[in-house]
Amino acid sequence: MKNQNVSRRLMLLCILSFSFFSASSLAKKFDDLALTPPMGWNSWNTFACEINENMIKEMADIMVSSGMKDAGYQYINIDDCWHGERDTNGNIQVNPKHFPSGMKALADYVHSKGLKLGLYSDAGWKTCGGKPGSRGYEFQDAKQYAAWGIDYLKYDWCNTEGLNAEGAYLTMRDALYTAGHPVVFSICEWGDNQPWEWAKDIGHLWRTSGDIINCWNCEHKHLEGTENEWSSWGVLKILDMRHNIRQYAGPGHWNDMDMMEVGNGMSKLEDQSHFTMWAMLASPLIAGNDLRSMSKQTLAILTNEDVIAINQDILGIQGFKYQTANGVDVWLKPMANGRWAMAVLNRNDDTVEFNFDFVAQGVIKDVLSDKKIDLKNTRYQIKDVWHNKMLGDTTQPLRKKIQGHETLTLILSM
Ligand code: GLA
């Protein structure tokens, strides 16, 4: 009898170890998530560490009542500083003052609205805001997030001295997969280790730059003159920061140009340009403003259905710069059903007159995607999406005044 018990226990142990090792050795990223760039809201750009459960619930409420959910926004992402301490078993807990009902209750609330909840952690021993990081606790944290029902994890890169980025993100990917609850995995190492080269099978999106700030073309230095100096960047700076990485983007794996600053103080035209360019580059559309107090204008920008269609196009092809002259860039993005998006960004402070002879362009070929647009022989209807107006067709040259910092945003369809 005793021997039987021992062998039963041994067998159980074997089965358990086998399932643990096979689960982690079969680990991969969750497929079929983020087949188009994720859309949602994140707390950091406006609130930094000033967050609490009531405010997060209000964001979920307004995401539904404002029509943002219907426009495609889905994730409510809590950034840094939701954390309390680890308990004596090492389990991460919420800050009890700011999240008194706990994270599971908050996730249940957000899910009851038909939305998804995201959290933030860090590959190092502390987050950028000085809260407990996941280093050494990856599997334990991932299990906790799964128990709470977390759907999206942004994973930062502060306090990681000596760590290998690919290894650190792979560890967390495996931990999330093993925990078993589908999670969009958002890599946030600012492009320092070229994640586009190695992260396709690890994460669903990766930041390409340092932090965004709410200005058009500025660089804002922090801790200037110290060894910890770092910069945050305006919209144009982020747009110009990386070249030749569009081939790395596609369904399930995106270049992330950072959470947006729409509604956070730039002009209407700048906000529209910002939104257009994030759409053209197939970047995730994560709003970073206070949704509760946004103006009608901000809401109209964030929910423009044509610009969102450019971003969410199922082909998932990141746009490319076709032409640049006198501070005016022309960007193109192939879309499904033979449509093309075209964005004419006036980087200058002053108005320019833009003249474009479509027919003279002939056949434009995007070598990367093998998509062609034959402007010589095919007539395309032109829609100006910010003005919600048809502008005729491509058989006639286009002549348009474009104000400083404005982006004329067009969809060409047959
Ligand atoms: C880093 C990230 C930001 C934000 C903060 C939080 O700077 O890049 O997006 O998450 O940390 O501390």
pLDDT digits (tens, 9 = 90+) for 254-270: 999 999 999 999 999 99
Stretch 198-203: mean pLDDT: 98
Best CA proximity match to 302, nearest among 11, 41, 9, 17: 41
CA 39 to ligand 1 centroid distance, Å: 18
pLDDT surpasses 70 at 286: yes
Best CA proximity match to 194, nearest among 236, 244, 150: 244
Tens digit of each residue's pLDDT (9 = 90 or more) over 95-142: 999 999 999 999 999 999 999 999 999 999 999 999 999 999 999 999
Residue 5 confidence (pLDDT): 61
Check: CB of residue 392 under 8 Å from CB of residue 356: no
Residue 207 confidence (pLDDT): 98
Check: CB of residue 394 under 8 Å from CB of residue 379: yes
Which residue puts its alpha carbon closest to atom 1 of ligand 1?
128
Distance CA 110, CA 104 (A): 10
Which atom of ligand 1 is nearest to 120's Cα? Answer: 10
Residue 326 confidence (pLDDT): 96
pLDDT surpasses 90 at 15: no
pLDDT surpasses 70 at 339: yes
Stretch 151-162: mean pLDDT: 98
Stretch 192-203: mean pLDDT: 98
Instruction: Identify whether 211 is a catalytic site residue.
Output: yes
DSSP 81-144: T-EEEE-TT--EEE-TTT-TT-HHHHHHHHHHTT-EEEEEEESSSB-TTSSB--TT-HHHHHHH
- Token look-up 């809260």 returns 131
Q: Is 211 in the pocket of ligand 1 (CB under 6 A)?
A: yes
Q: Is 174 in the pocket of ligand 1 (CB under 6 A)?
A: no
pLDDT surpasses 60 at 35: yes
pLDDT surpasses 90 at 245: yes
CA 156 to ligand 1 centroid distance, Å: 7
Q: Is 212 in the pocket of ligand 1 (CB under 6 A)?
A: no
Beta bridge partners of 255: 206
Residue 156 confidence (pLDDT): 98
Residue 11 confidence (pLDDT): 59
Q: Is 188 in the pocket of ligand 1 (CB under 6 A)?
A: yes
Check: CB of residue 177 under 8 Å from CB of residue 29: yes
CA 253 to ligand 1 centroid distance, Å: 20
Q: What percent of the chain has pLDDT over 90?
A: 93
Which residue puts its alpha carbon closest to atom 5 of ligand 1?
128
Average pLDDT, the chain: 95
Stretch 212-228: mean pLDDT: 95
Specify the pTM. 0.94
Residue 26 confidence (pLDDT): 85
Best CA proximity match to 138, nearest among 27, 256, 40, 48: 27
CA 289 to ligand 1 centroid distance, Å: 15
pLDDT surpasses 80 at 10: no
CA 45 to ligand 1 centroid distance, Å: 9
Which residue puts its alpha carbon closest to atom 8 of ligand 1?
211
Catalytic member of 79, 156, 258, 290: 156
Q: 247 by DSSP, 3-state: which?
A: helix
Stretch 363-392: mean pLDDT: 98
Residue 312 confidence (pLDDT): 99
- In testing the pocket of ligand 1, which one of 51, 156, 190, 231 has its CB within 8 Å of the most ligand atoms? 156
Best CA proximity match to 285, nearest among 311, 304, 323, 265: 311
Which atom of ligand 1 is nearest to 129's Cα? Answer: 12
Choose the weakest-confidence range: 204-213, 225-234, 256-265, 303-312.
Answer: 225-234
Q: Is 80 in the pocket of ligand 1 (CB under 6 A)?
A: yes
Residue spans of alpha helices (H) in 135-199 = 138-148, 165-179
pLDDT surpasses 70 at 7: no
Residue 13 confidence (pLDDT): 53
Check: CB of residue 390 under 8 Å from CB of residue 354: no
Instruction: Identify whether 384 is a catalytic site residue.
Output: no
Q: How confident is the model at residue 289 (pLDDT cuts 50, 70, 90)?
A: very high
Distance CA 371, CA 402 (A): 28
Q: How confident is the model at residue 313 (pLDDT cuts 50, 70, 90)?
A: very high
Contacts of 131 (CB under 8 A, 6+ apart): 80, 81, 82, 83, 122
